[in-house]
Amino acid sequence: MPVPPVAPRHPVTTTLHGHTRTDEYEWLRAKEDPAVLAHLEAENAYTQERTAHLADLRGAIYDEIKARTLETDLSVPTRVRGFWYYGRSFEGRQYGASCRVPVTDPDDWTPPQPAADAHPDEPALPGEEVLLDLDELAQGHDFFSMGGSSVSPDDRLLAYAVDVVGDERYTVRVLDLGTRELHDDVLTDVLGGVTWGASADHFYYTTVDDAWRPDKVWRHRLGTAQADDELVFHEPDGRYFVGVGRTRSRRYVMIAASSKTTSEFHVIDAADPTATPVCFAERTDGVEYSLEHAVVGGEDRFLVLHNATGPEFELGHAPASPTAPADWQPLLPHDLAVRLEDVDAFADHLVVQQRSNGSSQVRILDLGDDPAHPVTADRFVEFPGELATVGAGSNPAFEQPTIRVGMTSLSRPSAVYDHDLRTGELVLRKQAPVLGGYDADEYEEHRLWATSVDGVQVPISLVVRKGVRGAAGTDPIPVHLYGYGAYEASIDPYFSVSRLSVLDRGAAFAIAHIRGGGEMGRHWYDDGKLAHKQHTFDDFIASARHLVETGWTTAEQIVGEGASAGGLLIGAVANQAPEAFGGLVAGVPFVDTLTTMLDATLPLTIPEYDEWGNPSDDPVAYERIAGYAPYENVADLPYPAILAETSLNDTRVLYVEAAKWVARLRERAPQADVLLRTEMAAGHGGVSGRYRAWEERAFTLAWILDRLGLADRPLLGSP
């Protein structure tokens, strides 16, 4: 049996709020230290040796993903002004290309369709223009990520941002689409992409502070140096993130300053390249709002989606000028049963994204000219199935007569529809192809409800291949259980090609929609953060036990998985209920929670106080976080097998958290079977390039199948 690496112990003792803690592995934070890199490489070598018996299974899963994927493909074109824009992928290439073709009939909103026999090296559509070939841009780099790309208002220039390290520090270049020459403009350390003004001579972008918090918005004039850019907005409060965008009407540039609980918008006339931002409504603690421009009742108005009247948000409207919350008029009043999540404004209608009873919904409001009764019709875009996930797609044109809508489920590949507002017709434009004879009807979906320790009912979405539970449909089977539970992020049912490699070997896949997420509304989030964070862990444990108690599986046959804040979930339940799982996977895990939240110089710590608490200033928050933080609570427990996966260049959850956690698990629970895998050229989202991403996922799934007892199980239906 291979011997695991042993990290040297270099104890550092600190005292705060009367509590003394000793950290033996903080030295692993020194990323440039050769000893640290050597330790991570040793862990990788140990993991590879321990999983060498799964090499054939990893290869098989990779081949299955590849065989089910249409490698040369085309997205459904989206119309922006005089062009249809789309993406292409190509067999054998890690990355795709962004393309466009001219609109031939301004009155026809039917997206063009490629020829059935289009060759990868030839245009997919007549008049195709390749804007960016990402494979070409990625050459010579171990990592490549496109942060965003945006075409100028005159359709001549393309500003795009790339990251070739994985630390989300992007470089922006500007390409002349006519000459194919790059402008001299080069902007570094930008967060994501850019937002054009009303003309092609200037755009806006954001940068970050030393703690990797987006805090500044700049205005760049083409042909000038970045050092000469104008600082348009600066947010000094460390709790607030800053973002910039443009309304769908193209009339205004919007700057948002938002904490976890409070927001404030500043407005710029897009046509004025010298304009100073104007605050729409000053921030009030606990009041969140977003802003969009629309024509309501025949008048220019701002739509305000806000929680000033209740936690589940209300859709109001106000004059297109600074307006206090008391003067926001309701269009959709607050309803405790409906969480309003977003609104898109168009020339004569609004598209509202909302959720009710755990299900996502797309709602359309038709607008008229009567200011007293501006909404003339209110309807939903309907899809069958309790577990269908729906949402508005890319709809960039303010006056378009159709609405792009997406739908997916645990068994149904993602589909793109156009809803014609004139006729009410819902037209399927494309369903993601799954090769190899995939039939969604061979799988069944279930909505289960677990009872948490405080009596709250927790929804679980589950998919399984029909017939795997025996003739009576009651035999226990292995279950891969996923959870997240933070930031009001909803992990709605979704389709995954790679997941079929688990389902088709006889396991079920389930999502526990635990508190801390947003699946059941804002209250679901509020009841799983700060003083209520323990509910997140209780819900996941209750979900696992419910699957056992109802005969779906046994504890030994459950592998739990979560990533980032979901990795914190996995680490916490490992300490609190190790007997409830047969294995656990923690991706880029936020497991050294207390250390991170005590260091305000680390990326993202201060903005996270509203999510976790401030243990530096608040003794109660210190004790609460210390009570569940995975690293603090490692003990000599009967842990299930654990796989921790992280990335060296991650700026959101630093690699050191997983490295320290594994080192302490090895020390305090020497009998535990723990593996650490560190990607040495990747960021928070893992490796770049689709084939490398498939290889990475095949590694994880092979380990999961091994823990589920299915490593040697042939695919169902195979000879």
CA distance 506 to 502: 7
d(CA 605, CA 492): 27
Provide the CATH number for the domain around residue 455: 3.40.50.1820
Give the Cα separation of 43 and 63 in Å (integer).
Answer: 27
For 502-527, how does the pLDDT look when each residue is reduced to its tens digit (9 = 90+)? 999 999 999 999 999 999 999 999 99
Catalytic residue among 492, 684, 688, 706: 684
User: What are the distances in angstroms from CA 153 to CA 195, 250, 555?
Assistant: 10, 9, 57
Residues 627, 630, 632, CA angle at the centre, nearest 5°?
60
Q: Which domain holds residue 505?
A: 12-67+437-707
Grade residue 651 by pLDDT with cuts at 50, 70 and 90.
confident
pTM of the shown model: 0.94
Known active-site residue 149: no
Q: Any bridge partners for residue 98, and if so which?
A: 87, 132
Q: 564, 592, 688, 706: which one is catalytic?
A: 564
**659 contact partners, CB below 8 Å, separation of at least 6:** 7, 25, 28, 36, 39, 40, 43, 646, 676, 678
Quick one: which of 295, 287, 219 has its CA closest to 257? 287
pLDDT > 90 fraction of the chain, expressed in percent and rounded: 89
Q: What residues have CB less than 8 Å from 258, skipping those under 6 apart?
A: 240, 241, 243, 264, 288
For residue 579, the model assigns a pLDDT of 98
Instruction: Confirm whether 480 is domain-assigned.
Output: yes
Cα distances from 314 to residues 31, 346, 484, 524, in angstroms, run 46, 19, 26, 17
pLDDT bin (cut points 50, 70, 90) of residue 210 is confident
Q: At what angle do helices 55-68 and 690-707 cross, to 10 degrees?
A: 130
Per annotation, catalytic residue among 452, 650, 688, 706:
650
Q: Which residues of 340-370 are buried (b: 16+ CB within 10 A; e: fewer)?
A: bbebbbbeebbbbbbbeebbbbbbbbebeee
Token pair listed for 152 = 């100028």
**Domain total for the chain?**
1
Distance between CA atoms of 51 and 48, rounded to whole angstroms? 5
What does the pLDDT read at residue 116? Answer: 62
Task: List pLDDT tens digits, range 7-18.
Answer: 999 999 999 999
Flag whether 564 is in a domain: yes
Structure confidence by residue, pLDDT tens digits, 247-262: 999 999 999 999 999 9
Residue 683 pLDDT: 72
Residue with tokens 């092979």: 702
pLDDT of residue 424: 86
CB-facing half-sphere around the CA of 129: CA atoms within 13 A: 16
For helices 34-50 and 655-668, what crossing angle results, to 10°?
70
Q: What is the mean pLDDT of residues 458-470?
A: 96
Whole-number average pLDDT of the chain:
95
Reduced to 3 states (helix: H, G, I; strand: E, B; else coil), residue 234 is: strand
Asked if 303 and 294 count as a contact pair (C-beta separation under 8 A), the reply is yes
Catalytic site residue 564?
A: yes
Would you say residue 718 has pLDDT above 70?
A: no
Q: What is the pLDDT of residues 257-284, one digit of tens each?
A: 999 999 999 999 999 999 999 999 999 9
Residue 316 in any domain: the answer is: no
- Sign (positive/negative) of CA torsion 228, 233, 238, 240? negative
Three-state SS for 84-117 is EEEEEECCCCCCCEEEEEECCCCCCCCCCCCCCC
C-beta separation of 616 from 630 below 8 A: no
> Is residue 560 included in any domain, yes or no?
yes
Calpha distance 53→43 (Å, rounded): 17
Residues 6+ apart with CB under 8 A from 691: 66, 94
Sign of the alpha-carbon dihedral angle for 237, 239, 245, 248: negative
CB 79 within 8 A of CB 111: yes
Residue 487: inside a domain: yes
pLDDT value of position 387: 86
Residue 719 clears pLDDT 60, i.e. is over it: no
Decide if 458 contacts 448 (C-beta within 8 A).
no
Q: What is the pLDDT of residues 524-564, one digit of tens each?
A: 999 999 999 999 999 999 999 999 999 999 999 999 999 99
- In the predicted model, what is the mean pLDDT of residues 438-451? 97
Q: Phi/psi at 65 (nearest 5 deg)? A: -60, -45
Residue 29 included in any domain:
yes
Residue 502 lies in a domain: yes
How confident is the model over 64-116, as pLDDT tens digits? 999 999 999 999 999 999 999 999 999 999 999 999 999 999 999 999 988 76
Query: Would you give the DSSP letter of residue 394?
Result: -
Which pLDDT score, from 0 to 100, does residue 1 have?
78
Judge whether 475 counts as a catalytic residue: no
Query: Who's near 622: CB < 8 A, 6+ residues apart?
Result: 16, 17, 19, 594, 615, 616
Residue 442 vs residues 14, 439, 703, 710, 717: alpha-carbon distances, Å: 57, 6, 25, 20, 11
The pLDDT score that the predictor gives to residue 618 is 98
Say if 260 falls within a structural domain. no
682 has pLDDT over 80: no
